[in-house]
Amino acid sequence: MRCHIGALIGQDVRMTSSAGPADFGRVDADGTVYVRTADGERSVGQIPDASAEEALAFYVRRFEALEVEVGLLDSRVRSGALSPEEARQSIKTVRTAVTSANAVGDFAALEAKLDGLAPLLDEQSAARKAERARQHDATRAAKEAMVTEAEDLAAGNDWRGGVNRFRSLLDEWKALPRIDRATDDELWHRFSTARTTYTRRRKAQFAEQSARRETAKQAKEQLIAEARELATSTEWGPTAGAFRDLMTRWKAAGPAPREVDDALWAEFRAIQDDFFNARTAVLSAQDAEYTGNLTAKRALLDEAEAAIVPVTDVASARAAFRTFLEKFNALGRVPREQIRTLDARVKALENAIRSAEEDEWRRTDPEAKARAEETVAMLSTEIDKLTEKIAKAAARGDVKAAAKAQESIDTYATWLAQARETLADFNR
């Protein structure tokens, strides 16, 4: 029919773009209405008992309805309201209606209008194809990124955040359109495998974690039992050390199941608190007692030091020290940090007495005194002999011999003075 339309456009007849629909029809004397087309006239119907104008107007209105339908279709196609495939099907339907319509009007113009949509549909088809290709590439890229993330999650250990992320990824995957079947199936297989791998590893991890926590629960219950046995001990030092060992083992045991771990810790901590509170109370009382003992011992030391030092009578000093020591030891313990200081003062007092005893012994030792007397006598004899030598040398006029003898006398005289001092100590 397109060739017919082209032929009509070139004719200078009543069928022009400025002609009205009625210009394409006529009415016979018997009332039959005809329409002129590129193929010639054809009958469109007959309306008895109506004037020619009325009959022609009736079939013109039919054409005008077709004209509205074609115009509406043209607007929808140009606006993109229909897909190219839908538009082509609609054009085909409308074209059939046009070519078979019993109406009067410019059918060639209607068909030309429908034909004029073909280039536009070709453009729209090409644009849609390009858009589908772009969407295909974008969807593929999105799914590949999701697969990569899923595989990274499957290889990691984010057991809490990972499961939520997999849910989000699955929802995002479902929201995306499918791409070509082979690629889509291959990507889905990778995604599904990653999710399955993650799920299995997560279940295995939680199963292992559950087993470890159950073992930790049993270990902590055992530690609590041991702590109860220690709680009433009054051996404060060793028991405190034992509680520290229990605490180290408690930390090493790891967490128990969450629903019982806090309760186990509260029980264990309460047992520890009972012991250490009892120890604190006892030690506080001891501190008060030890502080009093410290004050008394310091007073005793002050008194003993004043009475004994310096030592003038060893026997009296020793007796006083024994009395002091009995009273000192009877007072009991003092704070640990003060023990060394007190012991040092007691030791110094004892050393002073021992030193005096040693001096006394040296003064009263008969053998030592005899040795001192012998030394004095020997040195005196030697000096007498040297004096005779000087006299004889002087008589001979031997000045050198006399000088040498005098040097020896000087040396012996120094030794003699020291020996007499030592002997004098024994005679005090």
What are the residue ranges spanned by the domains of the chain? 2-115, 130-211, 287-364, 366-426
* pLDDT band (50, 70, 90) for residue 199: very high
CA distance 16 to 13: 7
Q: What is the pLDDT of residue 365?
A: 67
**Backbone CA torsion sign across 93, 98, 99, 103:** positive
pLDDT tier for residue 364 given thresholds of 50, 70 and 90: low
Q: Residues 69, 55, 19, CA angle at the centre, nearest 5°?
A: 55
pLDDT score of 322: 93
pLDDT for residue 416 is more than 50: yes
pTM above 0.85, yes or no: no
The residue ranking higher by pLDDT, 82 or 361, is 82
Cross-strand partners of 30: none
Q: Which residues lie below 8 Å from residue 217, measured CB to CB, with a gap of 6+?
A: 256, 257, 260, 261, 264
> Rg of the Cα trace of the chain?
66
- Report the chain's terminal Cα–Cα distance, integer Å: 165
Q: Give the model's pLDDT for residue 374.
A: 84
For the record, the structure tokens of 371 come out as 């040795």
Q: Rounded to whole angstroms, how far apart are CA atoms 371 and 352?
A: 27
Residue of 273, 212, 270 lying closest to 262 (CA atoms) = 270
Count, residues in the chain: 428
For 267-297, the pLDDT digits (tens) are 999 998 998 898 888 878 877 888 999 999 9
Res. 16: pLDDT tops 50: no
- Sign of the dihedral through C-alpha 243, 248, 249, 253: positive
**pLDDT higher than 60, residue 129:** yes
CB atoms within 10 A of CB 408: 15
What is the mean predicted confidence (pLDDT) over 314-341? 90
Q: Which residue has the tokens 């009877």?
A: 330
Tell me: pLDDT of 86 over 90. yes
How far is residue 83's CA from residue 103's CA, in Å, rounded to a whole number? 30
